[in-house]
Amino acid sequence: MRSVRVAFGQATTAARGRASRAYSIPERLGRAGLGGTVAAFAYPVLTSHTPLALPCPLRTLTGVPCPACGMTTAATRLAAGELRPALAANPFVLPLAVLTATMAVLLGARLLGVAPPPAPWPPGRRRNVRRAVGILFGVSWLYQLHRFGWI
């Protein structure tokens, strides 16, 4: 049986009575970003040999782009070293790439015992980060709506 407890911006998992190291929310997002990085390199290879494609569900069903529209294209173009097409598809790919690289270094340092474990975030910081993420999503959506001619 596996239980998950989330408190103070951290997640702790326990499996069969053993607790694993707590991963902060930024670390968990960094791990997801590392998975996205692997996918950004693998996706072009996969799509060139198969009919597989990942269309945006919102845009496919409604015609309206989502805040993350273009992110797959942006990530694969960035992985191929094509900065301009990546930024044209979704300019938020660059800050996400920097965040992912930073979190990868931090995760590696923590794994080696060089960096201390994550400290709990105070409620004010968590609230400010949620607001900042919400604002970034809004700005991204405005960019995508402009890019596809909705505004």
pLDDT digits (tens, 9 = 90+) for 58-77: 888 888 888 888 888 888 88
For residue 49, is pLDDT > 80? no
Measured between alpha carbons, how far is 50 from 131 in angstroms, rounded to an integer? 40
Rounded to the nearest integer, the mean pLDDT of the chain is 80
pLDDT of residue 15 exceeding 70 = no
The three-state secondary structure class of 11 is strand
In this structure, which amino acid lies at residue 30? G
- Taking 90 as the threshold, does the pLDDT of residue 51 lie above it? no
Torsion of CA 6, 12, 13, 19, to 10 degrees: -140
pLDDT at 7: 47
Among 124, 120, 136, which residue's Cα sits nearest to residue 8? 120
pLDDT, tens digit, 9 for 90 and up, residues 102-151: 888 888 888 898 988 888 888 999 899 889 989 998 999 999 999 888 88
- pLDDT at position 8 is 44
Cα separation, 151 vs 145, in Å, equals 6
87 or 36: which leads in pLDDT: 87
Q: What six digits make up the tokens of 146?
A: 């402009």
Percent of the chain with pLDDT over 90: 17
Find all residues with CB under 8 Å of 20, minimum gap 6, and list them. 12, 13, 14
Where exactly are the structural domains of the chain?
26-117+136-147
The answer to whether residues 26 and 103 touch, using CB atoms and an 8 Å cutoff, is yes
